[in-house]
A and B are shown apart, each in its own frame.
Chain A
Amino acid sequence: MKSDNVLETLAVQFATLSLVAFGGANVVIPEIHRQAVDVHHWMTNQDFAALFAIAQAAPGPNFLVTTLVGWKAAGLAGALVATGGMCLPSCVLTYWVAKAWDRYHQAGWRIAIGAGLAPVTVGFVFSSAFVLIRAADNSWKLFVVSAVSAAVAFFTKLNPLWCLAAAAVLGLAGLYR
Chain B
Amino acid sequence: MTPRPSLRALFSAFFAIALSGFGGTLPFARRTLVDRLGWLTPEDFTETLSLCQSLPGPNIVNMSIVVGSRAQGWRGSVAAASGLIGTPVIIVIILGALYSRFEPLLKTRPWIAAPFILLAFVAVALLRLPLPYVLLVLAPISIVLAWRWHRRA
Contact = CB atoms under 8 A, between A and B. Distances in A.
Interface of A: 18-25, 50-51, 54-64, 67-68, 71-72, 76, 79-80, 83, 86-87, 89-91, 93-95, 97-99, 101-102, 114, 117-118, 120-122, 124-125, 153, 157, 159-161, 164-165, 168, 172
Contacts of B96: 51, 54, 68, 71-72
Best-buried of A25, A76, A91 by chain B (most CB within 10 Å): A91
A24 B95 contact: no
17 contacts: A18-B56, A24-B59, A59-B20, A61-B61, A61-B84, A67-B89, A67-B93, A76-B93, A86-B57, A89-B57, A90-B57, A98-B51, A114-B51, A118-B46, A121-B46, A165-B126, A172-B114
A102 B48 CA distance: 10
Contact of A59 (B19, B31, B58, B114): B19
A60 B50 contact: no
A25 B92 contact: no
Contact of B92 (A50, A68, A118, A159): A68
Interface of B: 18-28, 31, 35, 46-47, 49-62, 65-66, 69-70, 74, 77, 81, 84-85, 87-89, 91-93, 95-97, 99, 103, 114, 121, 125-126
